[in-house]
Amino acid sequence: MTEIVFPNDANPLGNVMGGRVMHWIDICAAIAAGRHARTPVVTAHVDQIDFHRPVRVGGVLSIKASVNYAHRTSMEIGVKMWSESRASGERSHVASAYLTFVSLDPDTGAPRPVPPVIPESEPEKRRRKQQEST
């Protein structure tokens, strides 16, 4: 996902509000979870959000989410956010988060099983190993 920080997204200091960052993180994570599960999903838990640096009004944000691990009906989603310099394209780490989403049956609204995550790349294998050790 890519977002631009508008004045209505900012606090009195001219930086994006933490709540808006959390909103964008939740949306990006929901898209990743829904694509994996192929069902409607809901946020069950926000495990952690770390804010690293402020972003000014006019800043461009890139947000990436990945499904790190799938349990029976839930998934752990990792999200990372960067600000991007318009002039150079250089990126700076803004925030990271881990969220848990639950897959729902579209007809009953009851939790529904999700497919497993099959790690292929080295980062995916590393995230899987981290998840299994917790």
- Domains contained in the chain, CATH given: 2-132 (3.10.129.10)
Q: Residues 2-51: pLDDT tens digits?
A: 999 999 999 999 999 999 999 999 999 999 999 999 999 999 999 999 99
62 pLDDT band, cuts 50/70/90, is very high
CA distances from 19 to 50, 60, 96, 115, 126 (A): 12, 17, 14, 31, 30
CA distance 68 to 98: 9
pLDDT surpassing 80 at residue 78: yes
Helix (H) / strand (E) element for 91: namely strand 91-103
pLDDT of 134 reads 66
Q: Residues 87-129: pLDDT tens digits?
A: 898 999 999 999 999 999 999 999 999 999 988 888 777 777 7
Residue identified by tokens 């250089």 is 90
For the whole model, what pTM was predicted?
A: 0.90
Please answer whether residues 47 and 99 qualify as being in contact, where contact means their C-beta atoms are separated by less than 8 angstroms: yes
pLDDT of 129 reads 74
Using only the alpha carbons of the chain, give its radius of gyration.
16
